[in-house]
Amino acid sequence: MAYDTTTGYIKHHLLNLTWGKLPEGAKTCDGETVSQASWQIAHCADEAQQMGFMAFHLDSLAWSGGLGILFCLVFWLMARKATTGVPTGMLNFVESIVEFVDNQVRDSFHGRSKIIAPLSLTIFVWVFLMNLMDLVPVDFIPTVVMDWGLGIPYHKIVATTDPNITMSMAIAVFLLIIFYSIKVKGVGGFVGELTLHPFNAPNKFAMVFLIPVNFVLETVSLLAKPISLGMRLFGNMYAGEFVFILSSAMLGAWQALGSVPWAIFHILIITLQAFIFMVLTIVYLSQACEDTH
């Protein structure tokens, strides 16, 4: 694929394959005015921007969904092969992952729930697989989908470099936090947690004065959990993808000179980010299930 400038190369590789509704009166990539609103694939950044919030990143959805299905299929097949004997090969690898995640849940989660361990396993493996796609050469997939007859203008395969994906996962965790907080503590206990902490006073009049202060502080603390959870993963993976793209743009045929060392180091990053997302999820849900106050 040929690009006029290095900036054009970088911008192209950082754009998602966007499908959305191009509104009436919008400008197309050719400078023409759209006479009637229509749903279509964006062929440039301006078209994607004009589609607004209600647009879909088809590449992120396809890769995240496909890797999720792959994870479920592999673990299901390994579960069918499990026996009481000593595991070998792929089964041994899968059981090691399950045992590792189970130990993390036992150490960090102090409540009672049958869903936390499967949820943690899903998060760790799914996020790791999405992160792992960052090691695929940055030019390979865009070349395949554009130059080999498919005609797709943009394509990103690292779903975790898309804030829509990372924040969707974080919001799902946030909803579980709210659910378990209300389930364990009740509505009154949850409201009390937001209004009676962290500042307390024996005097009732002073306590009434502190309630708005507590509510603001606790609400900010609560909302910071999904935001930090999703944006941390997105920021780290987007930065890593940007380094790969930048080294490819600057070094050209010699891109392996800069990409290979970073890829080796990046193996640690993609694993660590999946681990952090899983552990923070366990910790947040453990806090939600505590009823000691």
Considering the domain boundaries, does residue 37 fall inside one?
Answer: no
Catalytically annotated residues: 228, 232, 236
Considering the domain boundaries, does residue 38 fall inside one?
Answer: no
Domain count, the chain: 1
Half-sphere CA count of 72, side-chain side, radius 13 A? 7
With a threshold of 0.85, does the pTM exceed it? yes
Q: Report yes or no: 238 and 161 within 8 Å, Cβ to Cβ.
A: yes
Considering the domain boundaries, does residue 86 fall inside one?
Answer: yes
Considering the domain boundaries, does residue 31 fall inside one?
Answer: no
Omega before residue 198 within 30° of 0, cis? yes
pLDDT band per the 50, 70, 90 thresholds, residue 252: low
Considering the domain boundaries, does residue 201 fall inside one?
Answer: yes
User: For 143-172, what is each residue's pLDDT tens digit?
Assistant: 777 766 566 788 889 999 999 999 999 999
Considering the domain boundaries, does residue 44 fall inside one?
Answer: no
pLDDT higher for 283 or 112? 283
Range of the domain at 85: 59-289
User: For 194-234, what is each residue's pLDDT tens digit?
Assistant: 888 788 777 777 788 888 888 999 999 999 999 999 999 99
Considering the domain boundaries, does residue 51 fall inside one?
Answer: no
Cα–Cα distances (Å) from 290 to 11, 115, 197, 211, 283, in that order, read 46, 16, 14, 21, 11
How much is the pLDDT for 150?
65
Considering the domain boundaries, does residue 54 fall inside one?
Answer: no
